[in-house]
Structure 1
Amino acid sequence: MKALANIIVESGSPFEKGTFIPLNRSQMIIGRRGDNWEPDIAFNNIFVSRKHLSISLENGMYLIKDLNSKHGTFVNNQRLIPNEEFILKDSTEISIANHLIKLSFSSSSIEQTADMVPTVQMCKWVNNLALDPLRQELSIQGNTFIFSDKEYKCIELLLTKVNQIVPIEDMKKCVWNERAQTESALLDVSSDEVNALIYRVRKKTQDIVQIENIRGKGYILSFNK
């Protein structure tokens, strides 16, 4: 099976930071080596269970599942319920072993990613703008802005559609995807939560970008002249 996506290691022995691990099987298990047991992806850490988590490809979607590990699996800082599947999205963060092992999911193949990114940190360069999903940073015009997990998802989504309306429901699905029960379900995210998030992102980036609220429709990001 040709790898359609990959895991990028931010930290975790024995891999170097920035290592690309192709997801080249329909199911891959991450864990720790044991007697007569070799996981598909092995980490050297006592807090990693032998069969810690699995990543599977089903119906075009990548699903992550904690295999009832002792110390748990965290996706975007939320602990997964054991044996319940969670849909992985581009730049989703995964951490295990008390957050000593940190990974990131990329929906691009290694070849596509290598063409797209000039560094192992997977910065996405567009003119003088760079987004770093691992560090959750935006660099532009000599300025670097550091975001929380949800703030980063918000600014990344807005930047993919500069001068276009990003519907409120798209914002909810992208930023609060951990609340999704099914792909089509409406998320239980209040207007206050969305407004508070937009306020924080605006406050951090107000000298560089404008985020306009189109009442009842969504948000538009544009660059200050």
Structure 2
Amino acid sequence: MHQVCLRVEEGHGYVQGDRIPLQRSKILIGRKSGGSKLDVHFSNPYISRKHAVILCEDGMYTITNLKSKHGLDVNGYPLDPFQQTVLCDQDVISLAKGAVKLTFINQAETEHEKTRDLVLEQELFKICREKRRVYIQGEPLQLNGKDMELLLLLDDNCDRVVLYEEIKKQIWPERFTGCHSMPDMVDQEELTALVYRLRKKLGSAGEKIITVPRTGYMLEK
């Protein structure tokens, strides 16, 4: 029987490479303190007393950010307070901006199980929206942050041109003014660079992102 565990990459109180078995359906992760009932605990002051929880239901593992003060990332993607995401084999969990780094290991997870939640399947690549993962020819591709946000936006509008302004508003909401009387804080060069980077990471699958001159971009089926 394959063991499901967390491998410690960084974390005060453990040695790098230590494996923490996940033998219960609920695993509470946090900072070690008097009277705390934790399954996995660290002494780093940046870790919240109750930082995150891993749940297992019907063989599927999820992790939830318990409103931690210094944050929780999975594969570089930050989780909002109480946001939950599915864990897959080799996912990297980062607590408090890297103060603690853990790798989720589930060797029993087959490639079929990894991709069972795919909502878009194309000849060259697959997108798993729930797990925020991309597969190229069956191999997982690391996409984080705005790269993933752009791909999901284009996927939402597959075979439809997404206008430049629409992309800017969705990818940089904190910087997009949306007011014609004020210049946008996202220039065209920055958007072009993001699309170029995404295409490069997708390899030959990047050819499915079509440029519509002076208008926007489209993900072609």
TM-score bracket, shorter-length normalisation: 0.5 to 0.7
Q: Would the aligned equivalents of 2:2 and 2:106 in 1 still touch at CA under 8 Å?
A: no
Q: Would the aligned equivalents of 1:32 and 1:48 in 2 still touch at CA under 8 Å?
A: yes
For 1:106-185, list aligned pairs within 5 A: 106-108=105-107, 165-169=123-127, 173-175=132-134
Aligned to 2:163: none
CA deviation after TM superposition for structure 1 residue 86, in Å = 1.0
Residue identity matched to 1:92? D
For 1:61-140, list aligned pairs within 5 A: 61-108=60-107
Output the TM-score relative to the length of structure 2.
0.55
5+ residue gaps, structure 1, are 113-156, 158-164, 180-185, 203-210, 218-225
Q: Would the aligned equivalents of 1:3 and 1:23 in 2 still touch at CA under 8 Å?
A: no
Aligned to 1:148: none
Q: Would the aligned equivalents of 1:28 and 1:54 in 2 still touch at CA under 8 Å?
A: yes
Q: Would the aligned equivalents of 1:3 and 1:24 in 2 still touch at CA under 8 Å?
A: no
Closer, same or farther: CA 67–169 of 1 in aligned 2, 3 Å: closer
- Alignment partner of 1:199 is 2:200: yes
Q: Would the aligned equivalents of 1:30 and 1:39 in 2 still touch at CA under 8 Å?
A: yes
- Alignment partner of 1:22 is 2:21: yes
Closer, same or farther: CA 166–106 of 1 in aligned 2, 3 Å: farther
Q: Would the aligned equivalents of 2:93 and 2:101 in 1 still touch at CA under 8 Å?
A: yes
Q: Root-mean-square deviation (CA), in Å? A: 3.7
CA deviation after TM superposition for structure 1 residue 187, in Å = 3.8
- Alignment partner of 1:52 is 2:51: yes
Larger radius of gyration: 2
Q: Distance in 2 between matches of 1:187 and 1:214?
A: 16
Closer, same or farther: CA 89–195 of 1 in aligned 2, 3 Å: farther
5+ residue gaps, structure 2, are 110-114, 116-122, 135-142, 159-191, 209-219
CA deviation after TM superposition for structure 1 residue 53, in Å = 0.5
CA deviation after TM superposition for structure 1 residue 178, in Å = 8.3
CA deviation after TM superposition for structure 1 residue 90, in Å = 1.9
Q: Would the aligned equivalents of 1:31 and 1:53 in 2 still touch at CA under 8 Å?
A: yes
Residue identity matched to 1:199? K
Q: Distance in 1 between matches of 2:29 and 2:88?
A: 18
Q: Would the aligned equivalents of 1:47 and 1:98 in 2 still touch at CA under 8 Å?
A: no
Q: Distance in 1 between matches of 2:132 and 2:97?
A: 27
Output the TM-score relative to the length of structure 1.
0.54
Alignment partner of 1:46: what SS? coil
Structure 1 residues 96-132: Cα deviation after superposition (integer angstroms, max 9, x where no partner): 13312111111226xx9xxxxxxxxxxxxxxxxxxxx
Percent identity reads 34
CA deviation after TM superposition for structure 1 residue 168, in Å = 4.1
